[in-house]
């Protein structure tokens, strides 16, 4: 039995192809609901089953946008996992296969899921294992989360040669399985099967896309202000569509930075569902982001991408279509002057990271 534990939209997006590939009676899904409304939207869009068990509901039904929200949410998750543990253990042994807890990525849910699996004596498998920036402070706390989970898991699904090598060099215990690419490649394929319409959105025919939300950037007011001022200036050259992630919108309001959006061609719209976002990304000329996941998606579809971060644990697109800013405004401006010159190569569509994972789970006796 596969026990899938997730809690964020980023996790669910990347494991949605896996969930869709599994038969209903071969897996149990547990939702910690760090981002409850976004997770429901992804289930609807991707046509995947609602979670078998939900152990929390974010903060009053909304996503965890502040540190103190996590402080209230974490005890509920822990208590409900304890309360429902016997039920989970019973279901986990119901299909005749060995139980394995599957976690994804680098969130607090990833760590919780890995610890929960270990305490129950289940095998723990980590999808997207081995990504490293080699600086525990950047990205924080994601780098630490991955390192913790690599000590707990014994099945490590590494999305490429570099992550696999990182695991080997750190003498990681267990089996390392190279999935060649990230499972988001299969997620992109799902989104392309039924592209979402964006006609009703107030976006121009030609535009660049801006999507920022990470705490690493939100916690540095001066760097955030400089970025907003720069993109506000460059929107006169090419209209920019700015996605208002809930945490980003709240932070901009808190810092009184809403007044910086003076250019009518810097267009703010609410954060979109994944399929709508992928349509926005596909139709854009380039993207400015602080998201490692979006770095991968941009690399796989060969979209010019400015990654506004100090460091990244991923190597997709670097030196080709992806430019790492290191929070340097000069680099930001150089990219915005001529984004079209940053061209890479599209990913090999013949590779399915999800299939590599399911094949190995069958081989190891966790899946029929």
Residue of 203, 209, 179 whose CA lies nearest to 298: 209
Q: Does residue 191 fall inside a structural domain?
A: no
Q: Does residue 192 fall inside a structural domain?
A: no
* Whether residue 245 is found in the same domain as residue 321: yes
Give pLDDT tens digits for 89-133: 999 988 889 999 999 999 999 999 999 999 999 999 999 999 999
Q: Give the span between the Cα atoms of 312 and 218, in whole angstroms.
A: 16
Give the model's pLDDT for residue 340.
94
* Whether residue 175 is found in the same domain as residue 224: no
pTM confidence score: 0.90
Q: Give the span between the Cα atoms of 289 and 248, in whole angstroms.
A: 12
Give the model's pLDDT for residue 49.
87
Residue of 143, 285, 268 whose CA lies nearest to 211: 268
* Whether residue 174 is found in the same domain as residue 213: no
The H-or-E segment that residue 142 falls in is: helix 142-152
pLDDT of residue 362 exceeding 80: yes
Domain region containing 155: 2-180+351-363
Beta bridge pairs of residue 208 = 240
Average pLDDT over residues 191-213: 93
> Using an 8 Å Cβ cutoff, are 126 and 150 in contact?
yes
Strands 305-307 vs 322-324: parallel, antiparallel or unpaired: parallel
The H-or-E segment that residue 318 falls in is: none
Give the model's pLDDT for residue 139.
85
Give pLDDT tens digits for 306-341: 999 999 999 999 999 999 999 999 999 999 999 999
Per-residue tokens: 118: 């270990």
* Whether residue 322 is found in the same domain as residue 358: no
Burial status of residue 202 (CB atoms within 10 A of its CB: 0-12, 13-18, 19 or more) = exposed
Give pLDDT tens digits for 167-186: 999 999 999 999 999 999 99
> Using an 8 Å Cβ cutoff, are 288 and 312 in contact?
no
Average pLDDT over residues 36-59: 91
* Whether residue 114 is found in the same domain as residue 252: no
- CATH number of the domain residue 317 falls in: 3.40.50.2000
Q: Give the span between the Cα atoms of 65 and 46, in whole angstroms.
A: 25
* Whether residue 9 is found in the same domain as residue 150: yes
Average pLDDT over residues 125-144: 93
Give the model's pLDDT for residue 65.
76
Q: Does residue 195 fall inside a structural domain?
A: no
Strands 2-6 vs 27-31: parallel, antiparallel or unpaired: parallel
Q: Does residue 71 fall inside a structural domain?
A: yes
Burial status of residue 90 (CB atoms within 10 A of its CB: 0-12, 13-18, 19 or more) = exposed
Average pLDDT over residues 28-43: 93
Lateral strand order in the sheet of 266-270: 266-270, 240-244, 208-211, 287-289, 305-307, 322-324
Per-residue tokens: 199: 């006609």
Give the model's pLDDT for residue 124.
98
> Using an 8 Å Cβ cutoff, are 288 and 260 in contact?
no
* Whether residue 6 is found in the same domain as residue 101: yes
* Whether residue 30 is found in the same domain as residue 128: yes
pLDDT of residue 348 exceeding 80: no
* Whether residue 95 is found in the same domain as residue 158: yes
Split into its structural domains, the chain has a count of: 2
pLDDT of residue 231 exceeding 90: yes
**Residue 343 CA to its chain's centroid (Å):** 23
Q: Does residue 197 fall inside a structural domain?
A: no
**Which of 34-48, 114-128, 283-297, 303-317 has the weakest average pLDDT?**
34-48
- Strand extents, DSSP E, the chain: 2-6, 27-31, 53-54, 100-104, 123-127, 155-158, 175-178, 208-211, 240-244, 266-270, 287-289, 305-307, 322-324
């Amino acid at each position: 039995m596969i026990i899938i534990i997730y809690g964020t939209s980023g996790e669910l997006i990347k494991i949605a192809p896996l969930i869709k590939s599994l038969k209903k009676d071969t897996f149990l899904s547990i939702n910690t609901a760090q981002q409850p409304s976004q997770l429901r939207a992804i289930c609807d869009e991707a046509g995947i089953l609602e979670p078998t068990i939900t152990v929390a509901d974010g903060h009053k039904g909304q996503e965890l946008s502040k540190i103190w929200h996590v402080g209230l949410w974490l005890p509920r998750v822990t208590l409900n996992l304890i309360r429902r543990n016997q039920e989970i253990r019973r279901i986990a042994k119901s299909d005749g296969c060995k139980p394995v807890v599957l976690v994804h990525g680098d969130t607090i849910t990833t760590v919780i899921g890995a610890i929960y699996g270990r305490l129950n004596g289940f095998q723990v498998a980590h999808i997207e294992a081995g990504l490293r920036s080699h600086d525990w402070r950047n990205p924080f706390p994601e780098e630490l989360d991955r390192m913790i989970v690599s000590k707990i898991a014994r099945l490590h699904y590494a999305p490429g040669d570099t992550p696999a090598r990182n695991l080997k060099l750190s003498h990681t215990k267990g089996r390392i399985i190279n999935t060649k690419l990230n499972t988001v490649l299969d997620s992109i394929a799902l989104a392309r099967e039924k592209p979402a319409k964006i006609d009703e959105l107030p976006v121009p025919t030609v535009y660049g896309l801006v999507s920022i939300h990470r705490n690493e950037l939100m916690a540095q007011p001066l760097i955030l202000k400089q970025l907003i001022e720069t993109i506000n200036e460059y929107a006169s050259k090419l209209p920019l569509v700015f996605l208002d992630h809930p945490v980003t919108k709240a932070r901009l309001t808190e810092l009184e930075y809403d007044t910086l959006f003076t250019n009518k061609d810097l267009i703010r719209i609410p954060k979109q569902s994944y399929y709508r976002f992928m349509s926005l990304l596909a139709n854009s000329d380039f993207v400015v982001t602080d998201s490692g996941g979006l770095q991968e998606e941009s690399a796989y579809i060969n979209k010019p991408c400015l990654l506004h971060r100090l460091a990244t644990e991923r190597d997709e697109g670097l030196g080709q279509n992806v430019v790492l800013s290191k929070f340097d405004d000069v680099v930001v401006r150089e990219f915005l002057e001529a984004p079209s010159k940053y061209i890479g190569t599209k990913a090999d569509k013949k590779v399915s990271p999800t299939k590599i994972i399911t094949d190995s789970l069958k081989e190891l006796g966790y899946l029929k």
